[in-house]
């Protein structure tokens, strides 16, 4: 039996760490992290999410988690475990009030990210998904420096595909010598809530293959079942949702070689 209080350092065994980044906010990066975590969990893997988007944490809202889920044991933190069995650490689970803004300067944000990595008892995980802060600023850099990420997935939208923003993220990853596994295009097309028909209305969507030499791993449509995650959870029995999760899991498993 584990004697929790005698440990002064968490004993973690994590097989693969995946960073989820985006060129800017508003592309649904956290939704992509959520879907990757859920897809892998459904395949039977043990999964954790480290929400390193300290100033704009969205992971707890997606899982409909309230604060206080994280317990401190001696010198370390025990992640909250969702109903799905996914371990989560996020700043919002530590704040008194989840609408309270985190007004910190760079160095303090970086310290928080480091602690989420070093002082959390994740235990044994097949995958740790790191939901990164958007953009290529300081904290994103800290995440790349402090956490031994095996591969990065860039969340993007059809609008962003033609922009320089995605290239910036990719170049940052290259500079840090972290492999970019590929892109996941969010809000890629629409699924009609009435008849379930697929509607393509973005000219810029990439139909297959790659962008900037980076592979498209999966496409996530705009659909009610996904936009209602935070209130209704993810209906994994739904045929279309199941197919999307399958696509994501297959792509990630192939890249991670697990
Ligand atoms: Zn229709």
Query: Tokens at residue 110, please?
Result: 């970086």
Q: Say how many Å lie between the CA of residue 200 and the centre of ligand 1.
A: 12
Q: Say how many Å lie between the CA of residue 244 and the centre of ligand 1.
A: 19
**What would the DSSP string read from start to end of 67-104?**
TT--EEETTEEEPEE-TTS-EEE-GGGTSSSTTS----
* Three-class secondary structure of residue 71 per DSSP: strand
CATH fold for domain 12-256: Rossmann fold (3.40.50)
Q: pTM of the predicted model, to two decimals? A: 0.89
Please write the tens of the pLDDT for every residue from 91-135. Answer: 878 776 666 666 667 777 788 888 889 899 999 999 999 999 888
The answer, yes or no, to whether residue 86 has pLDDT greater than 90, is yes
209: phi then psi, degrees, rounded to nearest 5:
75, -125
Q: How far apart are CA 101 and CA 98, in angstroms?
A: 8
The pLDDT of residue 160: 66
**Ranges of each domain in the chain:** 12-256
Q: Say how many Å lie between the CA of residue 27 and the centre of ligand 1.
A: 24
* Three-class secondary structure of residue 41 per DSSP: helix
Query: Tokens at residue 10, please?
Result: 């968490």
The pLDDT of residue 45: 98
Please write the tens of the pLDDT for every residue from 29-77. Answer: 999 999 999 999 999 999 999 999 887 888 888 888 876 677 778 888 8
Helices vs strands, H then E, count in the chain: 9, 13
Q: CA 133 → CA 20, 170, 214, distances in Å?
A: 9, 15, 21
Q: Look at 211 and 96; give whichever has higher pLDDT.
A: 96
The answer, yes or no, to whether residue 186 has pLDDT greater than 90, is yes
Residue 203 confidence class, pLDDT cut points 50, 70, 90: low
Neighbours of ion ligand 1 (CB under 5 A): 192, 194-195, 197
The answer, yes or no, to whether residue 208 has pLDDT greater than 70, is no
Contact indicator for 15, 129 with CB cutoff of 8 Å: no
């Amino acid at each position: 039996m584990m004697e929790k209080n005698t440990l002064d350092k968490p004993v973690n065994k994590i097989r693969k760490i995946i960073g989820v980044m985006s060129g800017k906010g508003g592309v649904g990066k956290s939704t992509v992290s959520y879907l990757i975590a859920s897809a892998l969990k459904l395949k039977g893997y043990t999964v954790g999410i480290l929400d390193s988007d300290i100033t704009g944490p969205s992971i707890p809202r997606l899982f409909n988690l309230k604060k206080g889920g994280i317990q401190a044991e001696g010198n370390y933190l025990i992640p909250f475990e969702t109903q799905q069995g996914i371990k989560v650490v996020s700043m919002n689970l530590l704040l008194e009030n989840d609408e309270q803004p985190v007004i910190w300067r760079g160095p303090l944000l970086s310290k928080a990210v480091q602690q989420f990595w070093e002082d959390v008892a994740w235990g044994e995980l097949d995958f740790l998904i790191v939901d990164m802060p958007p953009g290529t600023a300081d904290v994103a850099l800290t995440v790349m420096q402090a956490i031994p990420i095996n591969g990065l997935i860039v969340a993007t939208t059809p609008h962003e595909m033609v922009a320089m923003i995605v290239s910036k993220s990719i170049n940052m990853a290259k500079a840090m010598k972290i492999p970019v596994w590929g892109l996941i295009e969010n809000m890629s097309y629409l699924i009609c809530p009435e008849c379930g028909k697929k509607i393509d209305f973005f000219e810029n969507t990439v139909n297959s293959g790659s962008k900037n030499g980076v592979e498209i791993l999966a496409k996530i449509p705009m659909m009610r079942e996904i936009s209602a995650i935070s209130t209704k959870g993810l209906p994994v029995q739904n045929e279309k949702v199941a197919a999307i999760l399958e696509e994501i899991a297959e792509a990630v498993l192939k890249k991670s070689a697990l």
